[in-house]
Each structure stands twice: as C-alpha cells, then as structure tokens.
Chain A
Amino acid sequence: SQTIHQWPATLVQPVGSPLSLECTVEGTSNPNLYWYRQAAGRGLQLLFYSVGIGQISSEVPQNLSASRPQDRQFILSSKKLLLSDSGFYLCAWSRDNVLFFGSGTQLSVL
C-alpha cells in the first residue's frame, strides 16, 4: 500500500533563517506531488505541484521554492523565512484525482 511521510511535525524558526521540509512517498511510482499551506483558520493554498522529477510548477509568488530530486521525494525550501510563512504545511500525492496527505508540519516563524 502507499504511504506518505513528512517531517518534521513541528518547527520553530527565527525570521531570516532557512527552511527545508521533506516529503517521501512509498508504494507508488511517478506520483503527482503537491505542497499546500494552511494558515490558521483558513483553507488550503496550493504552493507547488510536480508531475515528475525536476518538474515543478508554482502557483503563487513567494519566497519559497520546491525541488523533486527523486521520483518519490519532494522538498520545500526557503533561503530566508518571513513571519508570514508561518502555517501548517502539507505534502500530498494523488491517485485517481484524489489527494492523500502527509501528517503535516506546523511551522512557526518568530
């Protein structure tokens, strides 16, 4: 069966520090992969999606970037975090138009 792993679960970072969140999927090949962000009390905002290795599409302009160095690995990064980057970050993969999420990373930028 397919599983998705995301880490860390929580992260507290100072403004201006770098960020790296990692997500891996097991049990499937060439999945579509996604990064979403959910601000407190808000809906999910699509940040990036990828249909294959090295193929990244960005949905919103921001100081975040994403990379897909391997088929089942998706990384979200930032060189310098802003206060507004705080939120709940979710990695997901899709099958038959359905999204399956990792357990999320709660990021607090202070």
Chain B
Amino acid sequence: RKEVEQDPGPFNVPEGATVAFNCTYSNSASQSFFWYRQDCRKEPKLLMSVYSSGNEDGRFTAQLNRASQYISLLIRDSKLSDSATYLCVVYSSASKIIFGSGTRLSIRP
C-alpha cells in the first residue's frame, strides 16, 4: 500500500461546479498535512495547510480526518484557472515528507 494515495483523475467538470478530492495516508503518526497545486511543467506551490478543525480559504475548504486517515479538498464555484494537478502532502518528519501522485482537474467552459 502506498503511504499517500490519491485518485489520479482526471476530473473534468464545468465551470461553476463544486469538486472534491480525497487523499488517504497510512502513517498514523503523521503530523502535518497540505494541499499543493502544480501547473504543467511548473513547480508545486502551496495551496493550503490542512487542520483538524478544517479550514477555508475563499472557495477552497480543506478537512482532516485523523481517525480515518484521510484529508480532503473541496473547491466551490470552480474557475477555468483552477485547472491543475492537486497534490496531497503528508509530513511525518524533516526526512519524511510524502507526496501523493496528484489528482488532475480540468475545468471546462
């Protein structure tokens, strides 16, 4: 079993739709969780951290479920510019930062 697993997609949704991704992790001792966004041929960029209480940044909402060992990302009112690959990241230690393989999202007009 992979340490961090994501649905690779692609998710193809119309503009304005709501879309959600999940990511599961295997190490129950993991400390911190993040969502990154990566555009084609570019470096990953931090989208948001994920907290146990859940957190929101504009149209984006992240949730952490430690009991079931998954994190989620919800995008509301999706825009064309949201098209990208979304990477789930799990931090256990300075030497153990594990990336999921990413979920591709394509927003169509």
Contacts and interface: CB of A to CB of B under 8 A. Distances in A.
Interface of chain A, main secondary structure: strand
A103 B43 contact: yes
A99 B45 contact: no
A97 B31 contact: yes
A104 B101 contact: no
Contacts of B89: 99
Interface in A63-110: 88, 90, 94, 97-104, 106
A40 to B, nearest CB: 10
Given A43-B101, A97-B32, A49 B42 contact: no
Contacts of A43: 87, 99-102
Nearest to A100: B46
A44 interface: yes
Given A44-B99, A98-B46, A49 B41 contact: no
A32 B95 CA distance: 9
Contact of B91 (A97, A100, A101): A97
Interface in B79-98: 87, 89, 91, 94-95, 97
A98 B49 contact: yes
A2 to B, nearest CB: 13
Given A42-B101, A43-B87, A106-B41, A49 B95 contact: yes
A50 B87 CA distance: 23
Nearest to B101: A43
A59 B34 CA distance: 21
28 contacts: A32-B94, A34-B97, A36-B99, A43-B87, A43-B101, A43-B102, A44-B87, A44-B99, A46-B97, A49-B94, A49-B95, A59-B95, A90-B43, A90-B44, A94-B97, A97-B91, A97-B97, A98-B34, A98-B46, A99-B44, A99-B46, A99-B89, A101-B44, A102-B43, A103-B42, A104-B41, A104-B42, A106-B41
Interface of B: 31-32, 34, 41-46, 49, 87, 89, 91, 94-95, 97, 99-102
